[in-house]
A and B are shown apart, each in its own frame.
Chain A
């Protein structure tokens, strides 16, 4: 039939980093290749005589791109499938744009190809908070025995060690990290953005030498996000994270309290009164559900 679209061809040059149920995530090392640079012949002659004229040949260094491919799902009707894919891409890119406008650090967008189900965004050079807290990479068990079996290859082990040393190398404590996360989440909610899937895998820690703190929290994975200012929705968003903390980082209760404290402070007393109250109700509902199910 038709030739593979240029966007899909990018996958051939990319490295698969996560195979999910909804999407495959790739790292594309080079989006636009390094350009060749040429100067007009008359300038070049000039440059040979006066060396400094040729000094401004500085060019862009190729930056990697994150490709998120929402591949076709054969178990769904094709029409429904492309509709759902479009909706996911739409809400993800709208939320990312809204975040950028609100000053929340998220990956910037480089390419959207709805027909191909592809979004290309800035590659965040850092670690997921999950890795930093010793939970391993997503999909990988936080089980030390695995290493004994020699199942974890060297690269993974090296990365894990690097992630776990990230806090020390940046000179920050877990408490400080938790405070940053809480503050970031309050900004998100003040901008009326509901993330929809807050987990420690969907938050990244990136070194940022130009910032006074030396690092920044980058939120990712906005596929389930929405726009809302209703306290119930904000509370559910937080509750999802609470559960994620409890299951991925079993000894994390104290850490998580740090997130909540900073969140409450960021939100402001009045608003926190509403959201905090809701959160108690949501927790209660969750516990009841657990008892039945």
Chain B
């Protein structure tokens, strides 16, 4: 799991945690739980929603960190300016990944969210740097204890993630080496007009070119069209 600390965002969402899982075997089950949790009542419902409080991203639609982090940044930006189009930051990330300036949330979830057949999965959690720092208002507390709290929180989180997902946690650097759905990406991000030789890019240079357009498309969505 990679944890990014962005001190210039409000503390409640100043930390971004990403974990990439390969060969996931319980996607169908996770999807069922997600659907059920939405309407589950009482304390049990709260606990289940807490356990599942991530953006579940179909990793075959992600070519590299830049693509995902760019979408995350625009979701954070939307939250800061009070212009979230969805209920949570996690669903906003999925929305931000979609190239359309005004996508339907269902459409974004269908393209970028977990499906019953998802084999490669990324979990995204955006939250405070540690579980107690939301209540602490002092910024001058000794850094070492802050760091300890962060580390402890991160270890708990990564363990929770690996309990939740049956699969192999892998470095995000491996994204491009896994089963990227280039065909689907090219269609969705309108990359077919780029007159590249074949359907799937064969060289690293070609992949770089496609990835550059994908990331730039996400970044410029608010001024597109």
Contacts and interface: CB of A to CB of B under 8 A. Distances in A.
Interface of A: 5-7, 9-10, 32-33, 35-43, 56-60, 86, 89-90, 93-94, 96-97, 100-103, 108-115, 120, 210
Given A38-B154, A39-B169, A101 B219 contact: no
B170 interface: yes
A33 B65 CA distance: 13
B19 to A, nearest CB: 9
A58 B80 contact: no
B193 interface: yes
A35 B155 contact: no
B4 A112 contact: no
A113 B77 contact: yes
A7 B66 CA distance: 17
Contact of B2 (A59, A108, A109): A59
Nearest to B147: A36
A60 B9 CA distance: 21
A5 B10 CA distance: 10
A226 to B, nearest CB: 15
Given A39-B1, A110-B219, 20 more contacts: A5-B80, A35-B2, A36-B3, A38-B154, A38-B155, A39-B169, A43-B162, A93-B216, A93-B220, A96-B216, A97-B213, A97-B220, A97-B224, A100-B209, A100-B216, A101-B193, A108-B213, A110-B66, A112-B222, A112-B223
A39 B155 CA distance: 8
Contacts of B1: 37-39
Nearest to B155: A38
9 contacts: A5-B81, A6-B80, A7-B77, A33-B6, A35-B2, A37-B2, A41-B155, A94-B224, A112-B222
A217 to B, nearest CB: 16
B173 interface: yes
A97 B65 contact: no
Contacts of B88: none
B180 interface: no
B174 interface: yes
CB-based closest 6 A-B pairs: A40-B162, A35-B2, A109-B216, A9-B8, A108-B212, A93-B220
Contact of A100 (B4, B76, B162, B212): B212
B70 A93 contact: no
Interface string B186-207: 0000010110000000001100
A207 to B, nearest CB: 15
Contacts of B18: 35
Interface string B169-184: 1111110000000000
B5 interface: yes
Given A40-B169, A103-B194, A89 B223 contact: yes
Contact of B215 (A56, A89, A93, A109): A109
A57 B223 contact: no
Given A39-B158, A97-B213, A111-B70, A56 B4 contact: no
B45 to A, nearest CB: 26
Contact of A112 (B9, B194, B220): B220
A56 B223 contact: no
Interface in B33-89: 65-66, 69-70, 73-74, 76-77, 80-81
Contacts of B9: 6
B188 to A, nearest CB: 14
A195 B61 CA distance: 33
